[in-house]
A = this chain, B = another copy of it.
Amino acid sequence: MSFENGRGAGEDPAVVAAPMRWDGWGDPARAEPLPFAVRSLLPLLLGRIRRPAPAPALEDVRLEPSAFTVRDADAFAALLGAPHVRTDAEARIRHAGGRSTLDLLRRRDAFQVAPDAVLLPGSHDEVVACLRLAAERDMAVIPFGGGTSVVGALDPERGTHRCVVSLDLGRLSGLLRYDAVSAEAVLAAGTTGPEAERLLAAHGMELGHYPQSFRYATVGGFAAARSSGQNSAGNGRFEGMVTGIRVATPTGDLALGRAPGSAAGPDLIRLFLGSEGILGVITEVTVRVHPRPDERVLESWTFPDFATGVDALRRVAQHGGGPTVIRLSDEAETGVSLAQVGRIGKALAKGASAVTVFEGEDVVARRARTGALLRAAGGTSLGEGAAEDWLRTRFDGPYLRDALLDAGVFCETLETATTWSRLSGLRDAVTTALKTGFADAGRKVFVMCHVSHVYPTGASLYFTLLAPLGSDPLDAWTEIKHAVGDAIMAAGGTISHHHAVGRDHAPWLAEEIGETGIRILAAVKRELDPHGIMNPGAVIGAATPVPGSAAGV
């Protein structure tokens, strides 16, 4: 999410956050009303906005009775201990979904859909036992890490099964092994981003993976969703950090990763990265780590327009300037960000602002190299200010979204990626689809875009949009999002650069990887999960296997 201003919690990545609020983002103590600057800006962008009815309190939410029986509870309690088998309303509601705007809107309903129970295994072997028992007892299993999916990967979909349970991996936490010589660490899948950094910092090391969900998301979730962090220019995507995984499936385990480079058949690790729980549960992740950076240099830039900035970022990505972070906001996002910090000005608001951060070794030389490329491509250095603001508040965007929803503003993000040569066409296609969609729904919309991940051959595009909430935001957005997905496909983009597929993007995966690609994933699922209990409906959607169509567990 890019609407990134507001109060910063400070930026120490090793500070573990308070438990997530049940109906919004993050630390409940940090929820607060819209900042004055944003409140002043909204009528200019969207006209008059109606405040929605207040959301219910947790204790007022109504759920269907749980289909998880006392006999089910006894069977799982025998495996996990009774405290680790939860059927109370609070546990069920807290596992009812992720943190997309649709999820948050659903948390504002009086009647909600939730899993029938929450299981909390404490070890790989307990995960294995849970999967076996769930298959025996005809239950769908939704693996649950930090609960930060924004693509519906945590929807409590039972498919054809008798009930659905959330498998919360929070108890699988910790640094299981650390190899100082190889700079490699084995982390339990439920370890959160901050906890991983805290444990590694004790060895002087950093993982350095900072998606916006960082404070709550887990290492297993990073893996399962093919995550990419804000430092991707320097540290790479999460999949590039992974050197090994351990996986429990309903019909067998995997332990993969003997060497950082191998030609021992296809890299099966990559088949589980991005599988979002449809094939099994990632229980351990081996990652390469690096020394904690002791130097950091920041520099902000402005470009006459977004297109000029994109071309400048391309040169940096292709010529190896070496930033750890490089991101570029379009004119709309630049203007709003400046307004938020009270620095709005006609000249600056017309341009596109960029942030560069350099961490680790040779930061001065790398800044000089990157700066020379950006300057030659039309950029003007603005010093450290805006980059400092960004760094301080970089995990805070979602807090603002909650305040916007309270104020009656629909705020959502979506993202894609493609090659450099298709990037401008992709941005136009998405913007048009969004504007047309909201216009057809009779609403204003304000669309912002940034580039936050660059590669030698292409880049990501991240869109943030604001619109009046209206009376039917779920239906309206579902329809608009459909048009956007079609537009992304037609323009040659990927349906997701780093949010993953979940259920929300499943309808476009078949177009992206083709019918043959879906058949491959369905065949693997059928082999590992013959009863189709693992996260039914996610990723490959309706291509999930028919129960009983293959050998039993």
Question: Which residue numbers of A lie inside 8 Å of B, CB to CB?
Answer: 179, 181-184, 225-228, 232, 237, 239, 243, 249, 251-256, 258-268, 270-276, 288, 290, 314, 318-320, 360-362, 365, 369, 416-422, 453, 455-460, 492-501, 505, 508-509, 512-517, 519-524, 526-528, 539-540
Contacts and interface: CB of A to CB of B under 8 A. Distances in A.
Q: Determine which residue in A362, A505, A509, A512 has the highest number of CB atoms from chain B within 10 A of its CB, and name it.
A: A512
A457 B243 contact: yes
B501 A252 contact: no
A457 B419 contact: no
A520 B271 contact: yes
Copies held by the complex: 2
Contact of A249 (B512, B516, B540): B516
Contacts of A517: 254, 256, 265, 268
B524 A259 contact: no
B261 A237 contact: yes
A142 B390 CA distance: 55
25 contacts: A181-B314, A181-B419, A181-B421, A182-B421, A182-B422, A183-B457, A252-B514, A255-B514, A256-B517, A258-B512, A260-B417, A260-B419, A261-B453, A261-B455, A261-B458, A262-B494, A263-B497, A264-B494, A265-B276, A265-B509, A265-B517, A266-B275, A290-B318, A362-B369, A519-B527
Given A318-B290, A457-B184, A261 B497 contact: yes
B524 A227 contact: no
Contact of A265 (B179, B275, B453, B523): B275
A34 to B, nearest CB: 31
Given A183-B318, A492-B258, A521 B266 contact: yes
A251 to B, nearest CB: 7
A458 B495 contact: no
A24 B539 CA distance: 49
A513 to B, nearest CB: 6
Nearest to A455: B260
Nearest to A489: B258
Contacts of A290: 318, 456
Contacts of A539: 265
A508 B258 CA distance: 13
A458 B265 contact: no
Q: Which 4 A-B pairs have the closest CB atoms?
A: A260-B455, A523-B527, A252-B516, A259-B417
A196 to B, nearest CB: 16
B259 A419 contact: yes
A320 B361 contact: yes
B263 A500 contact: yes
B270 A274 contact: no
Contacts of A288: 456-457
A269 B450 CA distance: 27
A373 to B, nearest CB: 11
B182 A264 contact: no
B524 A528 contact: no
B262 A496 contact: yes
A419 B184 contact: yes
Given A264-B513, A265-B521, A419-B179, A497 B456 contact: no
B456 A183 contact: yes
Contacts of A266: 226, 270-275, 521
B181 A259 contact: no
A425 to B, nearest CB: 12
A521 B528 CA distance: 11
Q: Determine which residue in A256, A263, A362, A497 has the highest number of CB atoms from chain B within 10 A of its CB, and name it.
A: A263
A183 B455 CA distance: 10
Q: Determine which residue in A184, A509, A520 has the highest number of CB atoms from chain B within 10 A of its CB, and name it.
A: A520
A26 B421 CA distance: 39
A258 B228 contact: no
Nearest to A422: B182
Q: Determine which residue in A228, A494, A499 has the highest number of CB atoms from chain B within 10 A of its CB, and name it.
A: A494
A528 to B, nearest CB: 7
